[in-house]
Amino acid sequence: MSRLYTESTHLDLRRPPDSSSAPPAGADAVDERLGSDVAFDGAYERRIRALSSQHWTPVAIAARAARLLTRAGATRILDVGSGAGKFCIVGARATGAAFVGVERRADLVAVARRAALEMGAARATFIHANVEALPFAGFDGFYLYNPFFEHISRHLPLVDRTLERSGRAHRRVVRSIEEKLGALPAPAVVVTYHGFGGQLPPDFSHVGDEPAGNDRLELWIKRP
């Protein structure tokens, strides 16, 4: 698969595309946060920070993924398993789209909401739910950073011990994502980082694949 997107990953998150994201105060502090992963993760408490390198999308990759989605036409983007909110917050600062994170761990939803407020990301909002119970209607973009891997990984440090550790649980949630994406009307856009453990439905075309961090960003589009 050729690399279709040649834009550099250089970030300028300091000028949000519309004023609704502009922080009411402390703009310099927000700019600083968005400048690097160390600075961004400094907004989190130590436990959340310690999970970052394994569980949260790096700032530059989040911005790139968000731009791939919006350039392909997505305007309302769901982060499937939003964790501490990093992808949604960076995406809201980097593009003009609306970002909604769905996360099953209530403590992470609270962390994400606090961070979005602190970083002036008004277009990043978060829902506390199991994604299996969330309808995909109304979203035209989806981001998945291998969100269900904790069910089956043997080596990944776990966020906590609340998720069922079994192949059965993993297969069930992956299948629910495949079914929801398959049922979506076109147009719809998906970006994955480290995949999601399943297959995109056949009506999605694989149109982009590029190196990112220690894996790849892949882009699929369902066209009308």
- 145, 162, 130, 23: which is closest to 86 by C-alpha? 145
* CA 41 from centroid of its chain's CA atoms: 16
Q: How far is the CB of 62 from ligand SAM (least distance, A)?
A: 7
Q: Does 87 bind ligand SAM (CB under 6 A)?
A: yes
Q: What does the alpha-carbon distance between residue 188 and residue 200 come to, in Å, rounded to a whole number?
A: 12
Nearest CB to ligand SAM, comparing residues 101 and 120: 101
b/e for 176-195, b at 16 or more Cβ within 10 A? Answer: bbbebbeebeeebbbbbbbe
Sequence-separated (6 or more) residues with CB below 8 Å from residue 147 = 80, 81, 131, 196
- 60, 127, 122, 69: which is closest to 92 by C-alpha? 122
Q: Does 82 bind ligand SAM (CB under 6 A)?
A: yes
Residues 157-186 that bind ligand SAM (CB under 6 A): 159, 173
Q: Does 86 bind ligand SAM (CB under 6 A)?
A: yes
Q: Which of 64, 67, 105, 123 binds ligand SAM (CB under 6 A)?
A: 105
Q: Does 95 bind ligand SAM (CB under 6 A)?
A: no
Number of residues that bind ligand SAM (CB under 6 A): 23
Nearest CB to ligand SAM, comparing residues 199 and 205: 199
Q: Map residues 121-160 to x or -, x wherever contact with ligand SAM holds by CB under 6 A.
A: ---------xxx------------xxxx----------x-
Helices (H), 72-147: 86-94, 106-118
Whether the CB-CB separation of 88 and 100 falls below 8 Å is answered with yes
Q: Does 99 bind ligand SAM (CB under 6 A)?
A: no
Binding site for ligand SAM (CB under 6 A): 55-57, 79, 81-83, 86-87, 102-105, 108, 130-132, 145-148, 159, 173
